[in-house]
């Protein structure tokens, strides 16, 4: 009897979840990915004040990647906290998160949105591949308050 060749389909162990991860996971992912650590008060404000957020959980339900958008809902949006747990990097999760955040702006904001981010070196190729470019002749500027 002829048997069809067995095809092995790889199961995607990751699920994208709309919304920020729980506070403890937000703080852990920032720290473990190498972003500057934040305290619980800062994290709670970040989660509550975001316009949009998503995260990715692994097969066991643990958050392993995240990102969020700060926005006025009109035209100005800033993507922040793009971070993937080092044990889960280079599997397309950062791309999945940023693509979802951009899609959400496209879906819910009026046309003509201006989306910014501060592209740290690990994410620069990813952001460029999604259409981000530097702001020259303007200059990204920041002020850190004590």
Kindly list the residues in this chain that would bind ligand COA in the complex (CB under 6 A): 33-35, 65, 82-84, 89-95, 118-120, 122-123, 125-126
Residue nearest to ligand COA (CB): 94
Residue 54's nearest CA partner among 63, 62, 45, 44 is 63
Residue (93 or 101) nearer to ligand COA, CB: 93
Distances (CA, A) of 136 to 74, 75, 129, 139, 144: 24, 20, 18, 6, 22
| Distance (Å, whole) CA 30 – CA 67 | 10
Instruction: Write down the least CB distance from residue 118 to ligand COA, Å.
Output: 6
Residue (74 or 125) nearer to ligand COA, CB: 125
Instruction: Write down the least CB distance from residue 142 to ligand COA, Å.
Output: 13
Instruction: Write down the least CB distance from residue 29 to ligand COA, Å.
Output: 8
Residue (85 or 104) nearer to ligand COA, CB: 85
Q: Three-class SS string for 58-88? A: CCCCCEEEEEEEEECCCCEEEEEEEEECHHH
Residue (87 or 146) nearer to ligand COA, CB: 87
């Amino acid at each position: 009897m002829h048997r069809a060749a067995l095809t092995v389909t790889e199961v995607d162990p990751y699920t994208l979840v709309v919304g920020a991860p729980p506070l403890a996971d937000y703080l852990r992912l920032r720290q473990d990915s190498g972003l500057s650590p934040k305290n619980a008060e800062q994290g709670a404000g970040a989660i509550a004040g975001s316009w949009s957020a998503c995260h990715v959980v692994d097969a066991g339900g643990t958050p392993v990647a995240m990102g969020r958008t700060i926005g006025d809902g009109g035209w100005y949006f800033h993507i922040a906290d793009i971070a993937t747990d080092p044990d889960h990097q280079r599997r397309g999760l950062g791309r999945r998160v940023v693509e979802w955040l951009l899609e959400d702006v496209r879906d819910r904001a009026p046309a003509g949105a201006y989306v910014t981010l501060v592209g740290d070196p690990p994410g620069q190729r990813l952001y460029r591949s999604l259409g981000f470019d530097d702001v020259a002749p303007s200059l990204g500027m920041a002020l850190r308050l004590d």
